[in-house]
Amino acid sequence: MSTTKKAKKHGAGHDAPQHARTRPTTLDPDWEVAPTESLRAPVGFDLAAFDRGSTPGFAGGKAAGQALVARHADELSELQERLFAEGRSGGSRSVLLVLQGMDTAGKGGIVRHVVGLVDPQGVAHRSFGVPTPEEREHDYLWRIRRALPEPGYIGVFDRSHYEDVLVARVDALVPPDVWEARYDEINRFEEEIVASGTIVVKVALLVSYEEQRARLMERLERPDKFWKYNPNDVDSRQKWPAYQEAYQAVLDRTSTEIAPWHVVPADRKWFARLAVSELLLDALRRLDLGWPPADFDVEVEKKRLAAT
Ligand code: ATP
């Protein structure tokens, strides 16, 4: 069976162009198709048909997936340090990881287990809940702009401006013509961010309806998980079809060449974590980061130090 055929079984990338399927030499053998391709939302992506327990492009199991995350941790961490060093030395580049998903999709776990692999000093994490009174006085992108990562940082958005076309659409928080206009506004906004030197990695963590129920039930059955339970989560769950429709629109209308969406099946936590760690690593590798040269005379400084 060819690689392409095998990959088809797994899901997301099946409409990706053939030329995109060249196998990078750095790719771990367990990836039959590079995650940047197998997870990228293809044109015409059908959310309803997506298998949320699948592992697109990855042939290994849980142990192999976890081992790969561990194996890539040092590189991820070193590249983050290079990015930070570059930012400290006048560079303008940064990375922004946008995490979207229904409740229990595992956004928090990604932050803990993937983003947690790098130095927290170089991470700017921000979660977006119901807008505060101050935020409500401004345009919906106001709070987002203020939270964008400074040069050298990996910004992490736990929810994002996409809530303004998700919950805002489902709960009719604004009239249809307002949320309707936002898709193009968001695309223009992301164009600006990318032009200013930020790589935007957008991840939709897709948990199934059944798995969400199990995860919510676990939160109700275990005292150590009560704190994670929010009765509002069941309200959102009751609107599942409307949310799926809203997510489909997001994927259809805001997956652009410069800031594509990645669709990550989230029923297997180990896979979602592997997928995001590989996408983040790819973004950092694409920056081709070096170490900033010394802005002092190294030999002179050595002599000065030796003399002390
Ligand atoms: P999470 O559910 O993400 O784990 P949480 O339960 O602690 O987090 P918060 O982070 O305080 O809750 O808020 C998340 C809630 O805020 C979600 O229900 C989300 O839909 C809502 N929210 C986020 N952005 C907006 C927005 N722009 N307008 C209205 N509601 C929003």
Confidence of residue 130 (pLDDT cuts 50, 70, 90): very high
Residue 157's pLDDT is what?
Answer: 98
Per-residue pLDDT at 10 = 38
CB-ligand 1 contact for 228 (6 Å cutoff): no
pLDDT digits (tens, 9 = 90+) for 18-44: 444 445 567 899 999 999 999 999 999
The response to whether residue 172 sits with its C-beta less than 6 Å from ligand 1 reads no
Question: Does 16 score more than 50 pLDDT?
Answer: no
Contacts by 25-33, CB closer than 8 A, 24 or more apart: 26/285, 28/68, 28/71, 30/58, 30/59, 30/60, 30/64, 30/65, 30/68, 31/57, 31/58, 31/59, 31/278, 32/3, 32/6, 32/7, 32/57, 32/58, 32/59, 33/3, 33/4, 33/7, 33/57
**pLDDT for residue 25:** 62
Tell me if 74 is assigned to some domain: yes
> From the CB of 176, is ligand 1 less than 6 Å away?
no
Q: Answer yes or no: is pLDDT of 220 > 70.
A: yes
Residue 18 included in any domain? no
Q: Which atom of ligand 1 is nearest to the CA of 230?
A: 6
pLDDT digits (tens, 9 = 90+) for 238-273: 999 999 999 999 999 999 999 999 999 999 999 999
Q: Output the pLDDT for position 24.
A: 58
For the residues of 107-148, what is the DSSP string, one character each?
HHHHHHHTGGGS-GGGEEEEE--SPPHHHHTS-TTHHHHHHS
Confidence (pLDDT) at 26: 77
**pLDDT band at 4, cuts 50/70/90?**
very low
The amino acid present at 65, given as its one-letter code, is G
3 lines ligand 1 (CB under 6 A): no
Domains: count for the chain: 1
202 has a pLDDT exceeding 60? yes
Contact in structure between 114 and 167 (CB atoms under 8 Å): no
**CA terminus-to-terminus distance, the chain:** 68
The whole-number pLDDT of residue 295 equals: 94
Q: Is residue 16 part of a domain?
A: no
The residue to mutate among 102, 126, 130, 143, having the most atoms of ligand 1 within 8 angstroms of its beta carbon, is 130
Q: What is the mean pLDDT of the chain?
A: 93
Asked whether residue 49 is assigned to any structural domain, the reply reads: yes
Average pLDDT on 60-83 reads: 98
Supply the CATH number for residue 212's domain.
3.40.50.300
Rounded to the nearest angstrom, the distance between the alpha carbon of 258 and the centre of ligand 1 is 27
- Say yes or no: CB of residue 220 within 6 Å of ligand 1: no
pLDDT of residue 23: 54
Rounded mean pLDDT of 188-209? 98
How large a percentage of the chain has pLDDT more than 70? 92
Indicate whether residue 230 lines ligand 1 (CB < 6 A).
Answer: yes
Q: Whose CA is nearest to atom 8 of ligand 1?
A: 129
> Residue 289 falls within a domain, yes or no?
yes
Ligand 1 atom having least distance to the Cα of 167: 20
The pTM of this model reads: 0.92
Looking at the predicted structure, is the pLDDT value of residue 2 above 70? no
The radius of gyration computed from the CA coordinates of the chain, to the nearest angstrom, equals 21
181 contacts: CB under 8 Å, gap ≥ 6: none
* 19 inside domain: no
Q: What is the pLDDT of residue 30?
A: 95
* Token pair listed for 34: 């590079």
17 within domain boundaries: no
Range of the domain at 64: 3-11+24-306
Would you say residue 147 lies in a domain? yes
Q: Is the pLDDT reported for residue 223 higher than 80?
A: yes
CA distance linking residue 16 with residue 22, whole number of Å: 12
| Residue % of the chain over a pLDDT of 90 | 91
